[in-house]
Amino acid sequence: MSISVIIPTLNEESCIADTLASIRRLNPHETIVVDGGSQDATCEIVSQSLNSKSEVRNSETENRKAPKSDLSIRARSTQPDLDAIIPMLGSGNTNFRLLHSPPGRARQMNLGAAHATGDVLLFLHADCQLENGALEAAELCLCSSKNVAGCFTMHVQACGCLYRLIDACAATRVRFTGLIYGDQGLFLRRDVFQRLRGFPNLRFMEDVCFSRMLAHHGHVAMVAPRIIVSARRWQKAGLIRQTLRNWTLTSLAACGANPDRLSIFYPQIR
């Protein structure tokens, strides 16, 4: 199976370079970044990542043709400041694309899915990274006819017993309810996504609403490889406060509250 990784972004300059580097190492069929109107350097960073493959190959060719000189070394040391935050992405076969969309994570992910060509769609938040073996595990999971979709084992990137409790609660939620949050890395076959007509056009909790629909069509599985999730929301909003907010809003949505109305209680944090 070929896997298309779809990443919605909005003002993610602090983390998108690391996320793209981690995806490049996994070598998926393609990576599609859908930006919702970032006002920071997100698009510039992604654009440099788009060009990195050809740049790496060209530099390798030039290095084989000519010996290094002091002049060439000085030339490479005078890159723009933005280059300082671009990690070495390698020269894998990943096809990167950058699309632009009006803001709204559901709208952005639906646009990315419409342009994807892989057999499997994997939706990844911009502040999350996947462990080695994640794509192989996703493919193996979807080879089973009973599994309609899946996600990865969540690991918040912070130390402390309370963070490990959050990880455990996320795993328990998936196993017993089939509800997947967006930061757990939802993946499913492209034809299933198309049959369900994509994410509902909501400003908030599109991931929860979509996974509820998925649960009616088959088993939603969780695979062993971890998805490393940024702790920024818990650290900025307060660990206990953010966790209680998540649980409360999910419960209200499950009881029928309009997710768009609930979005005012979930501020954007970057």
Q: How many domains does the chain have?
A: 1
Instruction: State residue 67's pLDDT score.
Output: 44
Instruction: State residue 56's pLDDT score.
Output: 38
Instruction: State residue 10's pLDDT score.
Output: 95
For residue 161, being part of any structural domain is answered with yes
Instruction: State residue 94's pLDDT score.
Output: 56
For residue 217, being part of any structural domain is answered with yes
- Kindly report the pTM of this predicted structure: 0.82
Instruction: State residue 228's pLDDT score.
Output: 97
For residue 270, being part of any structural domain is answered with no
* CATH number, domain with residue 59: 3.90.550.10
Per-residue pLDDT of the chain (270 residues), as tens digits, is 999 999 999 999 999 999 999 999 999 999 999 999 999 999 999 998 877 654 434 433 344 444 443 333 333 333 334 443 433 343 344 588 999 999 999 999 999 999 999 999 999 999 999 999 999 999 999 999 899 999 999 999 999 999 999 999 999 999 998 889 989 999 999 999 999 999 998 887 898 889 889 988 999 999 999 999 999 888 887 888 888 887 888 778 777 778 777 777 776 766
Instruction: State residue 84's pLDDT score.
Output: 39
For residue 151, being part of any structural domain is answered with yes
Expressed as residue numbers, the domain containing 244 is: 3-265
For residue 233, being part of any structural domain is answered with yes
DSSP string, the chain: --EEEEEEESS-TTTHHHHHHHHHHH--SEEEEEES--SSSHHHHHHHHHHHHHHHHHHHHHHHHS---HHHHHHHTT--GGGGG---------EEEEEE--S-HHHHHHHHHHH--SSEEEE--TTEEE-TTHHHHHHHHHTSTTEEEEEEEEEESS-SHHHHHHHHHHHHHHHHH----GGG--EEEHHHHHHTTSS-S-SS-HHHHHHHHHHTTSEEEEEEEEEEE--HHHHHH-HHHHHHHHHHHHHHHHTT--HHHHGGGS----
